[in-house]
Structures are given as structure tokens and as C-alpha cells.
Copies of this chain bind each other. A is one copy, B any other.
Amino acid sequence: MRRTGRLEALSDGVFGFAITLLVLDLVVPVTRQSEQHLIRALGDQWPGYLGYVVSFASIGALWLGHNAITEYLDHADTTLLRLNLLLLLLVAFLPFPTRLVAEYVHVTTAGAERVAVTFYGLTLLIAAALLSLFWRYALHARLVRLDAGDEEITLLTQRLTPGLGAYVLLIIVG
């Protein structure tokens, strides 16, 4: 039987690092420019800003789900810690496909853009599936607090599942 404190601390560290990583990709226009050119140069970076916001939204959504789950955890076991590490592997990986989408979002050859979006969607899909698995395992191994109401648990299970369908749809459309 393990306490959940360090599972949460490591997760918050990885989520926090991954969520802020994309700001490193935003480049300050180096050639000393005039007022007009600087404004335009900053504006031309919109795919970078978009990537930053999209990444923040996806990782933030996963964090909200993760946070909701740990609220119900009473304790952890080794398998849950391993599942959590697997989930964190995907979370920490997300900045890479996000950067890919930001790079290819305004490319005219629609094919390359589709590849980038599919790659991003697939990563997000696997991360969401692992989050759902994380929760189902905790339920199955009876790691959930005894005072948690059945309704709340069912609600959380549902909230974590439909995400899957949405992502599958998004990839097919993509």
C-alpha cells in the first residue's frame, strides 16, 4: 500500500514542465526592426502562439481529469504507479506533435498538414485512453476511497470515456 503524495508530486512536476515548454519555441525577431516590421514579425508567429495555447488546453484538460481521479484515490499500488508513468510519458511527449502542427498548419500542401494533425490527434487519443485506463484500474483494484458516492464514480467514468469517441472522430475527419 502506497500513499499517493509522491504520485501527485511527480505528475504535477511533469504536467507543469510540459505545459510551459512550448514558450521556448517562440522566437524573438532578432534583426533590430522598425515599429511596423516588429508588429508584423510578432503577428507572423501566430502558429507558435496557437501551438502554445492548444498545448496548454490539451495538457490542462488531461491535468483536470488526472486531478479529478486522484481526489478519489485512497492509496496506490505499484501497478497504478506504473500506469501513471506511462501516462506521463505521453503527456511529456505532447509538446512534440504540437510543435509539428504549428509548423505545418499554414502549409498549402494539405497532405503534410493532415499528417501533422493526425499525429497530434493520435498522441492525444492514447493519452486520453491511458487516463481512462488509469481510472478503471483504480476502480478495479479497489484503490478508491470508500466514502466516494456511486453516482460520482459513474459520472467520472462517463466523463473520461466519451473523450475517446471524440478523438477517434477528429482523426477520421483529419
Q: Which residues of A contact B (CB under 8 A)?
A: 2-3, 5-10, 12-21, 23-24, 26, 28, 30, 32-39, 42, 52-53, 56, 60, 63-64, 67-68, 70-71, 78, 81-82, 85, 88-89, 92-93, 95-96, 99-100, 103-104, 107, 109, 111-112, 114-116, 119
Oligomer: number of copies: 4
What is the distance, in angstroms, from A133's C-beta to the closest C-beta of chain B?
Answer: 17
Interface of A is mostly: helix
- A34-B111, A38-B116, A107-B32 as given contacts; A93 in contact with B14, CB under 8 Å: no
State which of B21, B34, B92 has its C-beta within 8 Å of the C-beta of A109. B34
A78 to B68, CA, bound (A): 9
